[in-house]
Structure 1
Amino acid sequence: MEEKVQMSEVLEALKKASKDIEANPGKGGGGGGSDFASPSMKVLLELSTGSDDLLSGDPRLSTLSDLLSSFKSLVFSLKSGSCQKGKGGILGSILRRRPSKSDEISRVAGSIGAEIQSWIYRVNADRLVSALLSAEKRDVEEQALLLRAMELRVSQGFDRGLQEVLLRYGVFAAVESALADALAPKLVRERAAAAVLALVRFNKAVFVGPVLMGPTVDALVSMSSTSAAALRALNGLIAAIRSPLVDELQARRAIPRLVALLGSGEGGAVSMEVRVLALDCVLEIGYFGRKEANDAMLAQGLIKRLAALQRSDLGGTLLEIDASGGCGVPVGWLWYGRAGADERRFLETRPFASCVARWAVQVEVGEGLRQREKREIKRQVVERVKEAAASEAESATLLAEVLWGSTIW
């Protein structure tokens, strides 16, 4: 494994050298002004000199080998030409007289950099898969670092070359295996959860199918009561995959387990961070879920749980934020950015505020239900609010928010 780390460091140095030369071919890659033997130029020339032995055993490196040979020929033809000019003999002056040669060096250096980047992708993918699937004693820190590095790289945006490497090396399967392994360290499983989400965002067309068909959903749900990272990943996947993932949660009977994470609002084994994320989760399900998913949440006592959270210390109502004696703002304003900084700060410090109405609005403006089904859900919410309220005053407040908030948008 140490050899793979050293290889990665060498390849990164080679990529940097090629980029330096591509950006500034007239100075030999920078660092030396008009000096022909600048550090970046030396690095690639040394690689080209030893490329026969280093690259010959891997057919995937044949293009890089050819490019290095071309680069070496270009550089020494220019050096030879500069010597024939006599006085000065400076590569920079030759390149200024022959811009086409400068362009050619830049082009070849850029192509070398691209090939080295592909090499880096392969080395890193091999390191990650080997670390996750190795039968030897696991290095938790290394696994976590490699998963984080992969997550950060795919989060930078789509890259066809990177995708080819991810598929060829079976990176998703290895990451999913680590996530689904109940005996794996919690840190590794949490990093794997974040990596799965990053892969889905990288290319949904490729990675959504494996998520829906594999053990990812069950693993995230099983971790959710003790892992905020797992819930964050699940929320991100719901937002990315939308109704198909909610359908999968419903088919696997996971929705009642997620609603149960809201608890009663009176303490318990579930951390407050998990409860806040569980609220985000049921809000997402309310928006994207079909009738069966929303019915499952209501059957689990969702409104009663939300009402309990709303009356907790981290609850309250958006009607409270107007200190001048006005009537506050309706929940529906949050949807179209009409709520100001005061409202958003209020929700940051009191995340369960107006959560009953927030869920009702999510369902009403959401994508999962027909209009007839939305009217039926609202009717059920009104009935359950009356049952869940601790007093007539609370019932009136909750109903006002539900009815006002869901019609203002």
Structure 2
Amino acid sequence: MEETQENSNKSKLLESLNKASKDLLTKPIPMYTYTNLAAIKTFQELHAELDPVLTTDPTLSNLSQLVSNLKTQLNNLQNSQGHSLKSFVRRRIVDHEISCIVASIDVEVQAWINRETIRNLVRVLLDSDDEEEKAKALTRFEKRLSSGFNRDLQELVLKAKVFSILESMLSESKCSIRVFEQSARAVVALVKFNKDVFVGQVLMGPIVRNLVSKASHGSIRVLSSLVKLIKSPLVYEMEAQGYIPRIISLLYSNDRSIVIVALDCVFEIAFFARKEAVEAMIEEGLIKKLVELQRLEIEGDSIDGGGGESRGICEETEEKEREMGRRERGLMEEWPFASCVTRFIVQLEMGDGLELGERRELKQEILSRVREASVSDAEATAIVSEILWGSSPLLR
């Protein structure tokens, strides 16, 4: 624990050093005087605080040398403030040297933080029994990945076999739901980080099966995110392994939050599903369940459409569009099951998995199932009309 705290403090100091060195370049150096004195003072204070750390940690030897070189160049710059041509040229040369050193410091700091992040993550996940510590390490790892692709970081991840460790966390029955879901989000972050490397590992491993089996709010949200990222290959795998009916079964849960995320997952799957998969979804009673969910929701015509006629033509078009976007997102949050049959069909029609003829055929089949599932002619007419004409404000 003491080592973890020490490295955490060291990481904060190095990030402060990185910022302070970059601040030296935020103001252009004038022709005759260097006026960024506040940045120089901050750098010097941090250098004094960090010097014992830099000189005693072998992994920071390169960074220690760079910081020393930067301090030397700053002194050279301040000593080259004459009005002669020679002083002017020298300032330009030193300015260039400072820029190069600052860039190298950034690389060294990021490399150290990457190494520490991966080392700490592996240590905590493999050796610690503290669930809170595991969750925090996973959160730091996910944040690090979100900063963008970095080849050195990828090499560290692969060498440490981080993906395999995360797989084991998602297979471990004793793992808390918090750590399970945070591990799953870390997998999503890895796929975003580099699809070429990590998509194949997701498809070939047990991760999808474990997410479906866990059937928690967080695990199904992660599954939806993976479908968005991996698209058709993941949907094909889910179809082949029989996972799609299990997602549909979650629509019958007594937990409303589970039903909501399961419905979102069904919509994501529909966008990439082939005809055979959609037919299987229909045979599983999906349309009947969507009609039931829609029946439980507030009727579409009771939702305020925004008073388009009374508002007239708005001159501030962009603001109006933003407001409409906020209103529709609010409607979706407040009435998550509204127009769900139509939304399912929209996903099929806009998706990548079906040919034009297949879309038409399946749409007719869905319309037939809607009529069968409706409790009255009025309900059937309302839903069919919405499908054919898109009358819901959620779909405009």
Common fold by TM > 0.5: yes
Equivalent residues of 2:272, 2:353 under 8 A apart: yes
In the TM superposition, what whole-angstrom CA distance separates every residue of 1:342-362 from its partner, at most 9, and x where no partner exists? 544333211101111111121
Amino acid at match of 1:72: S
Asked whether 1:354 is paired with 2:343, we answer no
Question: What residue number does 2:106 align with?
Answer: 113
Asked whether 1:296 is paired with 2:302, we answer no
Question: What residue number does 1:235 align with?
Answer: 224
Equivalent residues of 1:231, 1:277 under 8 A apart: yes
Residue aligned with 1:16, SS: helix
Q: Higher mean Cα deviation, 374-383 or 90-99?
A: 90-99
Asked whether 1:196 is paired with 2:187, we answer yes
Amino acid at match of 1:39: E
Asked whether 1:375 is paired with 2:360, we answer yes
1:66-215 aligned at under 5 Å gives the runs 66=62, 68-69=64-65, 71-72=67-68, 75-76=71-72, 93=81, 98-134=91-127, 138-215=129-206
Asked whether 1:16 is paired with 2:1, we answer no
Equivalent residues of 2:188, 2:222 under 8 A apart: yes
Which whole-Å CA distance do the structure 1 matches of 2:328 and 2:65 have between them? 64
Question: What residue number does 1:217 align with?
Answer: 208
Residue aligned with 1:352, SS: coil
Q: So what's the TM-score if we normalise by structure 2?
A: 0.82
Work out the percentage of aligned pairs sharing the same amino acid.
39
Match of 1:39 among 21, 45, 59: 45
| Closer/same/farther in 2, CA of residues 346 and 128 from structure 1, 3 Å limit | same
CA RMSD across the alignment: 3.4
| Closer/same/farther in 2, CA of residues 67 and 139 from structure 1, 3 Å limit | closer
Any gaps of 5 or more consecutive residues in structure 1? 56-60, 83-89, 264-268, 327-336
Asked whether 1:392 is paired with 2:377, we answer yes
Asked whether 1:276 is paired with 2:260, we answer yes
Amino acid at match of 1:131: V
Q: So what's the TM-score if we normalise by structure 1?
A: 0.80
Amino acid at match of 1:302: L
Question: What residue number does 2:318 align with?
Answer: none
Q: Higher mean Cα deviation, 167-176 or 37-46?
A: 37-46
Amino acid at match of 2:234: L
Question: What residue number does 2:316 align with?
Answer: none
Asked whether 1:317 is paired with 2:300, we answer yes
Which whole-Å CA distance do the structure 2 matches of 1:368 and 1:18 have between them? 48
Q: Higher mean Cα deviation, 102-111 or 208-217?
A: 102-111
In the TM superposition, what whole-angstrom CA distance separates every residue of 1:351-389 from its partner, at most 9, and x where no partner exists? 101111111121122110111221221121011111100
Which whole-Å CA distance do the structure 1 matches of 2:247 and 2:23 have between them? 52
Which whole-Å CA distance do the structure 1 matches of 2:62 and 2:105 have between them? 9
Question: What residue number does 1:87 align with?
Answer: none
| Closer/same/farther in 2, CA of residues 33 and 13 from structure 1, 3 Å limit | closer
| Closer/same/farther in 2, CA of residues 304 and 345 from structure 1, 3 Å limit | same
Which whole-Å CA distance do the structure 2 matches of 1:34 and 1:191 have between them? 41
- Compute the displacement of 1:215 (Å): 1.1
Amino acid at match of 1:235: S
Which whole-Å CA distance do the structure 2 matches of 1:230 and 1:350 have between them? 22
- Compute the displacement of 1:213 (Å): 0.7
Which whole-Å CA distance do the structure 1 matches of 2:43 and 2:149 have between them? 36
Q: Higher mean Cα deviation, 124-133 or 164-173?
A: 164-173
Equivalent residues of 2:66, 2:105 under 8 A apart: no
- Compute the displacement of 1:99 (Å): 3.8
Residue aligned with 1:157, SS: coil
Which whole-Å CA distance do the structure 1 matches of 2:185 and 2:301 have between them? 33
1:242-257 aligned at under 5 Å gives the runs 242-257=231-246
Question: What residue number does 1:65 align with?
Answer: 61
Amino acid at match of 1:69: Q
Asked whether 1:404 is paired with 2:392, we answer no
Question: What residue number does 1:58 align with?
Answer: none
Equivalent residues of 2:47, 2:67 under 8 A apart: no
Which whole-Å CA distance do the structure 2 matches of 1:198 and 1:375 have between them? 37
Amino acid at match of 1:398: I
